Structure 1
Amino acid sequence: MSEETRRIVCWRHGRTAWNQEKRFQGQTDIPLDGTGIAQAKRAAGLLATLRPDAIVASDLRRASDTAGFLAGRTGLTVEHDKGLRERFGGSWEGLTTPEIRERWPEHDARMHIPDGEDILAVGERVSEAVLRGLARVPDNGLLVVVGHGAALRAGINRMLGLPPEIRQALGPIGNCSWSVLGPLRTGGWRLLEHNAASLPEDRVLGDDR
């Protein structure tokens, strides 16, 4: 069977206290809070019904622990890849959005952090990590990638080939929501679902094949 039947689920971790407080987390290793654990357990129950073939996750706790709930449901082992870590935020990590705007009014966090990681570089490393994960999946298989909001969105943008000037056309991914990529017959990838928290009915998936 052709590689064209593979799918990739890009699953964001559950909520943390810093998510709730709207703090820039970056690569600071913040754990899930109680709500995040409940979100991860619920989503894992849904995603397990898709019978994934492999799970690859960021090694930061909030993503690794989220992936662990799916591993418990499926019997799979989580493979950790540092390439899936969140965007490094430098001196912005731990700050709220108003604090960042007050201290660095001239900068736009969507593209540039003075001492942080360029968002386009994030997209490159995340897409490379996803492709490494695909090597663990059979030709007709499903890979679940567990990561972080900004990093996953940057990776998806890169895999879809969206130019930087329209990268904001793809909206955010909520805590414990996911997006699904499938291959184009002509090469490359297309977005099948975005920011989902439930499984679509078969007839919806079949509307435009």
Structure 2
Amino acid sequence: MIAVITADLIDSTLYKEPVLEQVLNTLRDEFEKVSNTLGKENIRLTIYRGDSFQGIIKNPEYALHVVLQLKSAINRIHLKKTKKSRAYSKIVDFKVAIGIGTVEIEREAISESNGQAFQFSGRTLDEMKSENRKTKIKTEYEEINNEFNTSFFLLDTITDKWSTASAEVVYYLLLGLKEREVADVLQISQSAVNQRKKAAGWDAISVLLERYKEVILKKFIDGK
């Protein structure tokens, strides 16, 4: 079993060239980071069409963590000239579908690969184009789909309210940094980090990440 994530940037045709360039560069940097973390043999991510990306994750229990790392990385982007870490409205985001299932053909080009996980992910993203949703999952188990698509709807509500500063704090927390370490990186007080952490809904997000990992491990890995 693998996870396939398929994502489209939202309203990318409206992005100014410097914004799109920074988004694509950020995604490439994050692809490298998650590859180093999970192992190059366990994850492959690629940009296609210039405004979409797709990835294969052979440890499906980490798919949601990867999605949130990529999301927070681009949600924190702003082009304001400032010396301090400040909160601005987000200027970029994406819709993403996670498909978990089997793989039949895996080629060097991800777009040429196929199987259950690819079909789940691609078709779900297509369905989302007419929905007010940014994150969905599809597996062969309806109880898993129902649980997490309900949770992901709430997750979307939380992340839609992120400022760039909130997204930045979440990003570093997802990398495993503690509050004091995040404060040092951003050169702000620990209390400011804590405030942004609360504003971002981090406690609820961290619980969801643990629940997702627990369920996916039990159903697809331990339950084999």
For Structure 1 versus Structure 2, the TM-score category normalised by the shorter chain is: 0.3 to 0.5
Q: Could you state the TM-score of these two structures normalised by the residue count of structure 2? A: 0.30
Q: Could you state the TM-score of these two structures normalised by the residue count of structure 1? A: 0.32
By percentage of residues, which structure has more helix? 2
Q: Which has the higher contact order (CA 8 A, sep 6+)?
A: 1
